[in-house]
Amino acid sequence: MALADDVYTASREASGSFPPELDALVDFIADDARPTCILEHLTSTVVYRNAAFDTFVATDPSTPGWFESLLDVLSNAPTPKQPSSGNIGIFASQLWSSKRVGASWIAVFTHQHAPDKVWLDVQPHIPDVQESSRIPVIPLTRHESDNSSTRSTSTTLSSLANSGLDTPLEDLAVDWLLHTHPNLDPWIDFLIHHNWQNTVLGPLQSWSPILRQMYTTVLASREPRVLYWGNDLCMLYNECAKFVVGEMHPKPLGMPLADVWGLAVHTEILKMIHTGVKRGKPVCQRDYELILTRYGFPESCFFDLVFLPIPSPDGHFLGVCAEFTEITEKVLQKNRQLISKNILENVSKSTSLPDVWQAFVRTLEHNSKDVSFAAVYTRTKSPSIHGAGTFQLEAACNIEGLGAHLPRSISNALQTSANDVIVVQGKKDTLPKEFAVSISEVDSVDTAYVLPIVDLDGVHLSAVVVLGLNPRRSINPSVRQFTESIRDMLFKSVALFSLPSQQREARAISQALSQELESMTLKAEKSEQNFTRMLRDAPIGMCMHRRDGHCVYVNDILLELLGMSKVNFFKAAEEGNAWREAVHEDDFETFNQTWAAAIETGKPMGAEFRVKPALLPNEVRWLEVSAQQRRDQDGNLEYLYVWLRDISSRKQLAEQKLADALETKRRSEIFIDMVSHEMRNPLGAILLLADGILSSLPSVSDPAQSSILTAEARNSLVDVAANIQLCARHQKVIIDEVLTFSRLDSKLLILAPEKIRPTETVQSVLKMVKAELDYDKIQGSMALQPSYTDLAVDNVLLDPGRLAQIILNFMTNAIKFTKNSDKRHIVISIGASRTQPSADDCEVTLIEPRGERVETAARRLSITEDPIGEDIYLIFSVRDTGCGLTETEMGHLFHRFSQASPKTYKQYGGSGLGLFISRELVELQGGQIGVHSEHGKGSTFAFYIKTARVEITVEPPTAELAQTSISDHMRVVDGPTAQKPQTADLHVLVVEDNAINQKILAQQLRKTGCAKVHVADHGQDALELLSTTTFFKYVGIDQVPLSVILLDVEMPIMDGLTCARRIRELEQKHEIVRHVPIIGITANARVEQIAACIEAGMDEVVTKPFRVMDLLPRMLALVDKHASVV
């Protein structure tokens, strides 16, 4: 703002001749933060103004002529009624008050602190305002004392009516942009007459009500506020925020942010708005720097910004209100304090005066934003300050091209003011040209401060320091204060090196001793604190006891582990039983012995014990205690150090490891039992069938019958041979699966791909199972999908053995579940795809791979040198019309040792490895496997694998079915033929769930001449048949004779062990009149398994495989034994 020269002539610099009654007041208000000035009452002349007033005048260009209006109010007030103090009115958006001082002076001040911003020695040029009549003066009601309040109620009401205060508030027009009146604020009047038509927002009359409402609210604020409206973020601001746009005002009003500040600032503010909306709270930006041109030069200003989103009635974004709080002085003050601290720390480490100057410039070289450069000149010749050659350049930073001596203009200035900081400026032609350096990305330095450093005598100069001010910093008293503090620090450092040497040495020794003592004290205290903290925060319990058991120290961890409070622990320690309350009763004796041994032997001792449960009754906590003695010089026990650690997790881990080991052992035994059972079953059938062949052949010793072979005998031999082949093949499959699984588990299985035709591999699999298909009257076929023929798949790169193994496994399962169906049909389909097939392409639910796919295995391990074409995927599926699977049964598939059903009831079920191995082989070839099934409608097993075309057609090797010679498994016995056992009176019950084993064993027994051979599928059937025999009580006259039971152990419905126990229970109840001979038959050969059979009530146990000729003598002996008992 501009103040008339005739009004504002006095200044702080002329404050040297004040009347005595003002000296105390001037001293009081000089550093007050409130803008204050003192007027002469008669002439209204300003005789003094404080620094805060200067700042307010310099930073408030909002209302021209406000100070003249304030003086008019003061001068026009009647003298008799002029109060000793009171409010004058609101001027320049501030409430001003006055205070009479004596008879001749008036103190004028505002309650608002001056902005923490610029203090300018030179006022910026602002045009004078001639029309002071346009400045509104709104005086506030003067406060009168309670003693003068003698007006009546009627007088008060009359005054209210005359002043218009009786008008209802809701009738008042507060939208100043639409409802104008003569006494409008100049800023509002300016906005009303602004050319809004040429802005994006358009005329005021076209603005939405909510926009006018928000802008009116912003205009009423006494703080800087900027309104960004709409998607374009059009700018609207109040009078206090004009500084934001600086010299661009009023062009930014109503214009988009991008047009005002550019796209970069627009994008940055847009990010802040989006961040605030996403977080659901206003965005606060601390210490935000803006380069503003407010006083004729670009200035670095710092603000705290708050962006408040403005919602529409339906909650969407309309705009944002930005609140600016200037903190420039606060930020600069913080930076200057840090600089002063660094200067003090670095200079104090110097050992000589030249080191002081070097440390000083090094500190400012990289750590100062307020000081652009620094130069130090030291005295060289004469103690006199006259002459340019007296001071020579000692050190400098961030400036080049300086002369060797101090510039003459500065030397001349020091002659008149050798003790004060001098300001030299380019605008006043007092700044030497060599100091007007250009700063990168900033303007040239225009102001420098000259700091004279005097000697101890206070007269002569020791050095001169020149500091170049950052051109984007304003000149104010805080800068002078900062430079004066630097001067004082340098003076003290110079004075230290100017002391006499002995005095300096003595002081240095004294300071060193004091510092060393202080350092040692601090170290001792810190060491004690660290030791105490270490004991307190140690992860283990610690305590220290005397010989008598009294506790000297205990940490919280030990008390927590023992579950004791400190009071109870020390109380128990006084009685010598500090630990008795916590130690478990079963372990107290062991603990007590360890404690006594630690005291008596003097050796480190340790023990493990339990503590009593703290919370849960079944809770068990294991602790490990270690004890170490400390003895005095005479060897007497002084203290016993005890450490306590929680080892519950270690104990639990050991128990878990033991349980895991036992579980692993149990699973291994289950696996061995399963494999043994599944391998012994077919072996038993093979031996029984071999015996059948031998018994069907005419005796070799009878020449008359050697050439006779009836048709019935031939058919019997063919049937027996077919069954032997089937059993041998099944045995080979099981062994192969176990071996393949072992290789997969050890990661030793490697693919060996070669050039093959997939159709030929499928046909070879069909040939392998043709005998089984024919035997079970199942129709097997191959079908090519359209996708296969469309891609014209011929030769591909695959491992034929592994492919055949997968398909053969699927076919084996399909035969197993189809042979008893009314409709018996199995189809192998082949499809192809250039892209990875989906579940829909395979028509099954695919299983997620277990590990990483080896998609390039075929190429990497390929043994062909022929060119390889494009990658393709082959899709194989095996669809049957069998019994199908339930959802539960499908969930058990494709896992190791897992089948759809737990046991292979009525059929060979295998080891449970087949589908798991198939899954591993498919995934090893970059594919996936899956299944789709409906109970009662059949199943579809499918998979796809990744392969590649091979350009040259080759013939793949023919897969041969491994066959085992019957003679390899027959044992020929030389010598006389053994006597045939006497079995004519032997009635046998064969209890076997496996149809083949049951059939073969029954046939062999009949051929030996047994009187009658009965069969049962499981234990329940056996009990029902037993109830009709001569063993059972209360049976009619048609009792069935029975001699012995051959009882299989593992069967469905009721197993052999349960059946044997039930028979013995019936014997105890005398429902069975005599002992029933039972011979157990099992494929499990471990000792404990055989012992379990005997314990269940079986008389003897025979393990598979066995020969009937070996079994018969044992049967006869057992029958005779119990017959003699009867």
Three-state SS for 404-456 is: CECCHHHHHHHHHCCCCCEEEECCCCCCCHHHCCECCCCCECCEEEEEEEECC
Three-state DSSP at 605 gives strand
Q: Are 1031 and 1006 in contact (CB under 8 A)?
A: no
CB 466: neighbour CB atoms within 10 A? 24
- pLDDT score recorded for residue 677: 66
pLDDT over 90 at 658, yes or no: no
Q: Are 289 and 300 in contact (CB under 8 A)?
A: yes
- pLDDT score recorded for residue 366: 77
Q: Which residue has the tokens 């510092």?
A: 515
Using the CB atoms, write b or e for 1016-1043: b if 16+ within 10 Å.
bbbbbbbbebbbebebbeeeeeeebebb
Question: In the chain, count of helices (H) and strands (E)?
Answer: 32, 33
Q: Which of 546-550, 646-650, 812-816 comes out lowest in average pLDDT?
A: 546-550
pLDDT over 80 at 723, yes or no: no
Q: Are 755 and 866 in contact (CB under 8 A)?
A: yes
pLDDT over 70 at 345, yes or no: yes
Helix (H) / strand (E) element for 1030: namely none
| Higher-scoring residue by pLDDT: 913, 1088 | 1088
| Higher-scoring residue by pLDDT: 973, 925 | 925
**What is the DSSP pairing of strand 225-229 with strand 105-110?**
unpaired
% the chain with pLDDT above 90:
17
Distances (CA, A) of 1084 to 730, 782, 1090: 19, 40, 8
Q: Where are the strands (E) in 117-160, listed by range? A: none
Average pLDDT on 27-34 reads: 81
Per-residue confidence band for 912, with pLDDT thresholds at 50, 70 and 90 = low
pLDDT over 60 at 973, yes or no: no
Q: Are 461 and 379 in contact (CB under 8 A)?
A: yes
Give the model confidence (pLDDT) of 823-841 as tens digits.
Answer: 999 999 999 999 999 989 9
- pLDDT score recorded for residue 1035: 62
| Higher-scoring residue by pLDDT: 1046, 44 | 1046
* Identity of the amino acid at 178: L
CA distance linking residue 793 with residue 871, whole number of Å: 11
- pLDDT score recorded for residue 388: 42
- Reading the block at residue 1083, the tokens are 């494929």
Average pLDDT on 789-816 reads: 89
Q: Are 889 and 900 in contact (CB under 8 A)?
A: yes
pLDDT over 50 at 124, yes or no: no
Contacts of 712 (CB under 8 A, 6+ apart): none
Superfamily, domain 331-498:
GAF domain (3.30.450.40)
pLDDT over 60 at 470, yes or no: yes
CB 813: neighbour CB atoms within 10 A? 25
The distance of Cα 537 from the centroid of its chain, to the nearest Å, equals: 27
987-1125 classified as CATH 3.20.20.70: no
CA distance linking residue 66 with residue 881, whole number of Å: 104
Instruction: Name beta bridge partners: 854.
Output: none
| End-to-end Cα distance, the chain | 136
Topology alike, domains 538-646 and 752-954: no
For the chain, the average pLDDT equals 77
- pLDDT score recorded for residue 119: 33
Q: In this structure, is the dihedral angle defined by the CA atoms of residues 43, 49, 53 and 57, taken in order, positive or negative?
A: positive
- Reading the block at residue 565, the tokens are 């409070």
pLDDT over 70 at 427, yes or no: yes
Three-state DSSP at 491 gives helix
Three-state DSSP at 875 gives strand
752-954 classified as CATH 1.10.375.10: no
CA distance linking residue 605 with residue 595, whole number of Å: 8
Distances (CA, A) of 654 to 447, 586, 650, 658: 79, 21, 6, 6
**What is the DSSP pairing of strand 796-798 with strand 754-756?**
antiparallel
Rg (CA), the chain: 55
- pLDDT score recorded for residue 710: 74
pLDDT over 70 at 783, yes or no: yes
Per-residue confidence band for 164, with pLDDT thresholds at 50, 70 and 90 = low
Minimal CA–CA distance to 694: which of 1111, 229, 1109, 134? 1109
Give DSSP secondary structure letters for 602-633.
Answer: -S-EEEEEEE--SSSTT--EEEEEEEEEEE-T
Q: Which fold has domain 172-326?
A: Beta-Lactamase (3.30.450)
Average pLDDT on 364-378 reads: 85
Per-residue confidence band for 14, with pLDDT thresholds at 50, 70 and 90 = very low
Instruction: Name beta bridge partners: 322.
Output: 226, 307
- pLDDT score recorded for residue 721: 67
Q: Which of 69-83, 437-451, 952-966, 1066-1080 comes out lowest in average pLDDT?
A: 952-966
Give the model confidence (pLDDT) of 317-333 as tens digits.
Answer: 899 998 888 888 888 88
Q: Which CATH architecture has domain 12-142?
A: 2-Layer Sandwich (3.30)
Minimal CA–CA distance to 339: which of 347, 349, 329? 347
- Reading the block at residue 744, the tokens are 């997969």
pTM > 0.75: yes or no: no
- pLDDT score recorded for residue 726: 63
pLDDT over 50 at 83, yes or no: no
CA distance linking residue 964 with residue 826, whole number of Å: 27
Average pLDDT on 900-907 reads: 44
- Domain map (residue ranges) of the chain: 12-142, 172-326, 331-498, 538-646, 752-954, 987-1125
* Identity of the amino acid at 1077: P
Task: Give φ, ψ of 1052 to 5 degrees.
Answer: -75, 180
- pLDDT score recorded for residue 957: 35
Instruction: Name beta bridge partners: 452.
Output: 464
Q: Are 219 and 241 in contact (CB under 8 A)?
A: no
- Reading the block at residue 306, the tokens are 């708050």
Q: Are 918 and 929 in contact (CB under 8 A)?
A: yes
Per-residue confidence band for 156, with pLDDT thresholds at 50, 70 and 90 = very low
Q: What angle do helix axes 477-498 and 353-367 make, rounded to 10 degrees?
A: 150
Per-residue confidence band for 904, with pLDDT thresholds at 50, 70 and 90 = very low
- Reading the block at residue 1104, the tokens are 């598979």
Give DSSP secondary structure letters for 968-1016.
Answer: HH-----SSPPPPP--TT-EEEEE-S-HHHHHHHHHHHHHTT-SEEEEE
CA distance linking residue 1079 with residue 1102, whole number of Å: 7
pLDDT over 80 at 1053, yes or no: yes
Q: Which CATH architecture has domain 538-646?
A: 2-Layer Sandwich (3.30)
| Higher-scoring residue by pLDDT: 614, 876 | 876
Distances (CA, A) of 358 to 348, 350, 355, 396, 780: 12, 9, 5, 8, 100
CA distance linking residue 2 with residue 355, whole number of Å: 50
The distance of Cα 372 from the centroid of its chain, to the nearest Å, equals: 46
Q: Are 828 and 773 in contact (CB under 8 A)?
A: no
Q: Which of 294-308, 599-613, 682-696, 1047-1061 comes out lowest in average pLDDT?
A: 682-696
**What is the DSSP pairing of strand 94-101 with strand 825-833?**
unpaired
pLDDT over 90 at 875, yes or no: yes
Helix (H) / strand (E) element for 373: namely strand 371-379
- pLDDT score recorded for residue 497: 77
Of the spans 60-74, 579-593, 940-954, which averages the highest pLDDT? 940-954
Give the model confidence (pLDDT) of 667-701 as tens digits.
Answer: 766 776 676 666 666 766 776 776 667 666 655 44
Minimal CA–CA distance to 66: which of 146, 140, 138, 118? 138
Q: Are 725 and 769 in contact (CB under 8 A)?
A: no
Q: What is the DSSP letter of 142?
A: P
Using the CB atoms, write b or e for 606-627: b if 16+ within 10 Å.
ebbbbbeeeeeeeeebbbbbbb
CA distance linking residue 287 with residue 330, whole number of Å: 10
Of the spans 627-636, 766-775, 790-799, 975-984, which averages the highest pLDDT? 790-799
| Higher-scoring residue by pLDDT: 533, 131 | 533
Distances (CA, A) of 547 to 187, 573, 611, 897: 90, 11, 23, 64
Q: Are 390 and 487 in contact (CB under 8 A)?
A: no
SS3 content of the chain, % helix, strand, coil (to 5): 40, 20, 35
